[in-house]
């Protein structure tokens, strides 16, 4: 089953944890996050190893995770936290668009990726959206990411995967369109159904495949060979 935000989140500020090896960057993120009445910074770490240690005793809803750090990079830290079963959503932050670590970070369990120089309103909106389990990676960015990392993806025929066996024909169709980077509105138009129906299908996909969010559905579709970059 997918992780869901704490029921008590509606009555307390959203807890954000910052991970970056540059103190000035963390200070900037802290000022931005704490300027919001519905958010609090509950901790910081200067590298992935420190993040893993601190998050074992510090509850967080969203982790802003830098990629390139000493001792333990953001991808490895994300993988450790995901394997540990953390309920926190992890947002990978990168300096360069489509950094080579981004796809690895998403496969490791991150829920989204953003550029560090994203406008403040974009970052704040992303924190709230990813906490709700919504998509943060824009469809256009998803398409570009998949093109960029085509060499890392399966290029053969689809292989049997237990996560796909329980899906209905319609659910597999929706999964295919999600993996192609279509929005809910675009999927609804393509399938000639109402948008709430698409949202229902995606909810079932998340539940049946054990995916944390929409981004993980994209990774699943490519990992299993259901779709390929040329699709």
pLDDT in tens, 72-89: 999 899 999 988 988 899
Judge contact between 174 and 198, C-beta under 8 A: yes
How many Cβ atoms are within 10 Å of 67's Cβ, its own excluded?
26
Please state, in angstroms and rounded to a whole number, the distance separating the CA atoms of residues 16 and 100.
25
**Average pLDDT of the residues in 100-116:** 76
pLDDT at 55 over 90: yes
Query: What is the β-pairing status of strands 89-94 and 112-115?
Result: parallel
The per-residue pLDDT for range 8-24, each reduced to its tens digit, is 545 789 999 999 999 99
Q: What is the pTM (predicted TM-score) of this model?
A: 0.71
- Determine the distance from the C-alpha atom of residue 81 to the mean position of all C-alpha atoms in its chain, rounded to a whole number: 13
Residue 129: predicted pLDDT: 82
How many Cβ atoms are within 10 Å of 116's Cβ, its own excluded?
17
Per DSSP, 96 falls in state S
pLDDT at 4 over 50: no
**Average pLDDT of the residues in 97-106:** 65
Q: Which range (27-41, 64-78, 113-127) has the least confidence?
A: 113-127
6: confidence class by pLDDT, cuts 50, 70, 90: very low
User: Whole-number mean pLDDT of the chain?
Assistant: 81
pLDDT at 110 over 80: yes
**Average pLDDT of the residues in 138-162:** 56
Please state, in angstroms and rounded to a whole number, the distance separating the CA atoms of residues 97 and 49.
25
Judge contact between 76 and 92, C-beta under 8 A: no
Judge contact between 34 and 63, C-beta under 8 A: no
Judge contact between 122 and 189, C-beta under 8 A: no
33: confidence class by pLDDT, cuts 50, 70, 90: very high
Residue 197: predicted pLDDT: 95
More confident position, 47 or 107: 47
pLDDT at 205 over 90: yes
pLDDT at 136 over 90: no
2: confidence class by pLDDT, cuts 50, 70, 90: very low
What tokens does 56 get? 């074992």
Residue 99: predicted pLDDT: 52
């Amino acid at each position: 089953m997918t992780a869901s935000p704490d029921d008590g989140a509606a009555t307390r500020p959203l807890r954000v944890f910052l991970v970056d090896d540059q103190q000035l960057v963390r200070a900037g993120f802290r000022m931005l996050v704490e300027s919001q009445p519905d958010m609090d910074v509950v901790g910081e770490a200067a590298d992935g190893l420190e993040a893993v240690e601190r998050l074992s005793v510090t509850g967080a809803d969203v982790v802003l995770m830098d990629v390139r750090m000493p001792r333990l990079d953001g991808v490895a830290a994300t993988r450790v936290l995901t394997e540990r079963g953390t309920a926190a959503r992890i947002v990978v932050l990168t300096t360069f668009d489509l950094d080579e670590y981004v796809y690895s970070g998403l496969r490791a369990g991150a829920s989204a990726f953003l550029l560090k120089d994203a406008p403040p309103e974009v970052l704040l909106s992303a924190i709230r959206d990813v906490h709700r389990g919504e998509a943060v990676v824009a469809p256009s960015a998803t398409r570009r990411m998949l093109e960029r990392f085509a060499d890392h993806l399966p290029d053969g025929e689809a292989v049997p995967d237990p996560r796909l066996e329980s899906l209905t024909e319609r659910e597999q169709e929706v999964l295919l369109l999600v993996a192609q980077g279509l929005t809910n509105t675009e999927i609804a138009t393509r399938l000639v159904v109402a948008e709430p129906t698409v949202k229902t299908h995606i909810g079932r996909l998340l539940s049946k495949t054990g995916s944390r969010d929409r981004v993980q559905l994209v990774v699943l579709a490519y990992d299993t060979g259901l779709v390929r970059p040329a699709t």
